[in-house]
Amino acid sequence: MAVESTNILEEVTSGEYKYGFITDIDSDSIASGLTEDVVRYISMKKNEPEWMLDFRLKAYRHWLTLEMPDWAHLKIPEINYQDIIFYSAPKSKKGPESLDEVDPELLKTFEKLGIPLEEQKMLTGMAVDAVMDSVSVKTTFKENLAELGIIFCSFSEAVQQYPDLVRQYLGSVVGYRDNFFAALNCAVFSDGSFAYIPKGVRCPMELSTYFRINAANTGQFERTLIVADDNSYVSYLEGCTAPMRDENQLHAAIVEIVAMEQAEVKYSTVQNWYPGDKNGKGGIYNFVTKRGLCKGRGSKISWTQVETGSAITWKYPSCILAGDDSVGEFYSVAVTNNYQQADTGSKMIHLGKNTKSRIVSKGISAGRSQNSYRGMVKISPRADNARNFSQCDSLLLGDRCGAHTFPYIDINNDSAVVEHEATTSKINEDQLFYCNQRGISTEDAVGLIVNGYAKEVINKLPMEFAVEAQKLLQITLEGSVG
């Protein structure tokens, strides 16, 4: 039994990244390094209005004064920001008018990723905005959505066409002063998605973005802004992949969500950036700032994430519960293997009365990886009757990995009820034995148990994503998961 599980865990480390192909497309990149000129160049390239450039420059100047944060439980090798290419776009003459005009190589890339745009369009009825390197390639189903008044387009398009909306909300949740990576993103972000759901509209389909880093040495800095007006509902999906490369690549994104009165936003992520090889070489540094603002009364923001990729993950999707009776949720499965490191969790800031939040975090570590949960629940003095429940479980596969929990609980109001629970253990031998005894191989049994362990979170994902998430869990823990 013991020998067998060692073998299986060894196999785990041989699990390979299945999305590591490089697409051969001409891309339009600038020289590496970051200067004020680069910021101006990006802005010019995107034909941006004056206020956008100001925003970028303010952020860039602020970024220069900041230092890389070192409080996370991560070993981050020194990043030389002058070696990174801050802008890279697939070359094309103009924006594509229809799918036929999109570079066929590019379409093939998305096909390999499992999001054939054509098929998506016809079968699933899901609207996809695909971001490759730093530029949004194609947004499907735009017309259908427009009929309902929903705006779903690339960020640069939104800046051109809906400048008032963008200007009103850009930086309102994650300002450029927020943190080191947020400031960097504000300065150099090149594209992303923008969604606006008007009053009373229930978005009939899932909105989805696919991110992919393709060109070598590039950093990806995209920005997503979702605004859900009163009484609206939207479910948003985000997926990411990158090719296999020896050197590390930087991904520093920002996601901002604003939910007005009674609005509900569901944001799901399946993150599968290239995690590096089994010796810890290469991989993406995923330093992301995600935050939702429950602005209106009774609004709700729900984050669901399945984190399987990235060499280093630094990510804390959070909710500011400003409106009375608003609700914040965070469901997460974070899997690390080989030399991956993850420091992820959630922040719930209770400002309004009767606000509720819930955090369910499941960590799985294998190989020599380090997996940390870091979260904060803060109840402000005005937040009467706030309620929070947090549960953070860790599962350890192998004796060289680590699982850590760092919750912060700050309570400034006596009517709050805040609970936090965490457990850390390895796979239950009794459960394994039970499965074995029923004729299920240890490998399959580990798969069953891990899937059961993560079920609570995976169930929160939209159907199409749940299937993919389950597959990813299997790939990441290949060998131990059937």
Partner 1 sequence: MMREFVKTYTSLYKEHEDTLNRSSVPLLNQQRSNAMERFDQMGFPDNKREDYRHLDLTAVLEVDYGMNLKRFNIPSNPHDVFRCDVPNLTTKLMFSVNDQFYPNEKPLNLPQGVLCGSLAELSKTHEALLAPYFNQLAEQSLDGLVHFNTAFAQDGFLLYVPENVILDKPLQLIQILQGPEEMLVQRRLLVIMEKGSQAQLLLCDHTLSPNRFLVNQVSELFVADNARLEYYELEMSHAATTRLSHTFASVGASANLSQNGMTLSNGLTRNNIEVHLNGSNSEANLSGLALVENEQFVDNHIWVDHAVPHCVSNQLYKYVLDDQSKGVFSGRILVQQDAQKTAAYQSNRNLCMSKESKMFTKPQLEIYADDVRCSHGSATGQMDETAMFYIRSRGIPEKEARLLMKFAFAADVIDNIHLDPLKDRMRMLVEKRFRGELARCAGCTAAQCS
Q: Which is nearer to partner 1, 154 or 405 (CB)?
A: 405
The yes or no reply on residue 67 touching partner 1 (CB under 8 A) is: no
Beta carbon of residue 9, minimum distance to partner 1 (angstroms, whole number): 10
By CB under 8 A, the count of residues binding partner 1 is: 35
- 411 to 450: interface string for partner 1, x by CB under 8 A: xxxxxxxxxxxxxxxx------------------------
Q: Which is nearer to partner 1, 218 or 405 (CB)?
A: 405
The yes or no reply on residue 4 touching partner 1 (CB under 8 A) is: no
The yes or no reply on residue 407 touching partner 1 (CB under 8 A) is: yes
Beta carbon of residue 422, minimum distance to partner 1 (angstroms, whole number): 5
Beta carbon of residue 404, minimum distance to partner 1 (angstroms, whole number): 5
Q: Which is nearer to partner 1, 134 or 405 (CB)?
A: 405
Write out the DSSP string of 133-198.
Answer: TTEEEEETTHHHHHHTT-EEEEHHHHHHH-HHHHHHHTTSSS-TTS-HHHHHHHHH--EEEEEEE-
Q: Which is nearer to partner 1, 168 or 425 (CB)?
A: 425
∠ Cα 358 359 360 (to 5°): 125
The yes or no reply on residue 396 touching partner 1 (CB under 8 A) is: yes
Q: Which amino acid is at 360?
A: V
Q: What's the CA gap between 352 and 333, in Å, rounded?
A: 28
Beta carbon of residue 327, minimum distance to partner 1 (angstroms, whole number): 19
Q: Could you tell me which residues come within 8 angstroms of residue 367 by beta carbon, excluding any fewer than 6 positions away? A: 9, 12, 13, 278, 336, 337, 338, 339, 340, 398, 400, 401
**Which of these, 348, 41, 11, 69, lies nearest to 187 by C-alpha position?**
41
Beta carbon of residue 67, minimum distance to partner 1 (angstroms, whole number): 14
Residues 286-345 that bind partner 1 (CB under 8 A): none
Q: Which is nearer to partner 1, 85 or 366 (CB)?
A: 366
Beta carbon of residue 381, minimum distance to partner 1 (angstroms, whole number): 8
Q: What's the CA gap between 390 and 418, in Å, rounded?
A: 8
Q: By CB under 8 A, which span of 44-52, 164-172, 288-296, 401-409 interacts with partner 1?
A: 401-409
Q: What's the CA gap between 331 and 456, in Å, rounded?
A: 8
Q: What's the CA gap between 205 and 106, in Å, rounded?
A: 24
The yes or no reply on residue 409 touching partner 1 (CB under 8 A) is: yes
The yes or no reply on residue 405 touching partner 1 (CB under 8 A) is: yes
- Strand 207-212 and strand 135-139: pairing? unpaired
Q: What's the CA gap between 435 and 442, in Å, rounded?
A: 8
- 361 to 390: interface string for partner 1, x by CB under 8 A: --------------------x---------
Q: Which two tokens stand for residue 50?
A: 């004056």
Q: What's the CA gap between 289 and 268, in Å, rounded?
A: 15
Residues 457-476 that bind partner 1 (CB under 8 A): none
Task: Using CB under 8 A, pick the residue from 404, 455, 462, 471 that binds partner 1.
Answer: 404
Q: By CB under 8 A, which span of 93-101, 271-279, 392-400, 441-449 interacts with partner 1?
A: 392-400
DSSP helix/strand/coil, 470: helix
Task: Using CB under 8 A, pick the residue from 125, 400, 459, 467 that binds partner 1.
Answer: 400
Task: Using CB under 8 A, pick the residue from 399, 437, 438, 439 that binds partner 1.
Answer: 399
Beta carbon of residue 348, minimum distance to partner 1 (angstroms, whole number): 14
Q: Which is nearer to partner 1, 188 or 312 (CB)?
A: 312
Beta carbon of residue 350, minimum distance to partner 1 (angstroms, whole number): 13
Q: How far is CA 368 from CA 382, 427, 442, in A?
A: 44, 17, 21
The yes or no reply on residue 397 touching partner 1 (CB under 8 A) is: yes
Q: Which is nearer to partner 1, 298 or 363 (CB)?
A: 363
Q: By CB under 8 A, which span of 12-20, 324-332, 399-407, 472-480 interacts with partner 1?
A: 399-407
CB atoms within 10 A of CB 353: 18
Task: Using CB under 8 A, pick the residue from 11, 406, 451, 455 that binds partner 1.
Answer: 406
Q: Which two tokens stand for residue 33?
A: 């390094």
Task: Using CB under 8 A, pick the residue from 3, 50, 71, 143 that binds partner 1.
Answer: 71
Beta carbon of residue 413, minimum distance to partner 1 (angstroms, whole number): 7
Q: What's the CA gap between 369 and 273, in Å, rounded?
A: 16
Q: What's the CA gap between 253 and 81, in Å, rounded?
A: 16
Q: Could you tell me which residues come within 8 angstroms of residue 269 by beta carbon, excluding any fewer than 6 positions away? A: 237, 238, 239, 240, 303, 304, 305, 306, 307
Beta carbon of residue 234, minimum distance to partner 1 (angstroms, whole number): 34
Q: How far is CA 279 from CA 19, 117, 284, 387, in A?
A: 18, 35, 14, 43
Beta carbon of residue 416, minimum distance to partner 1 (angstroms, whole number): 7
What residues make contact with partner 1 under the rule CB under 8 A?
A: 71, 73, 381, 394, 396-426
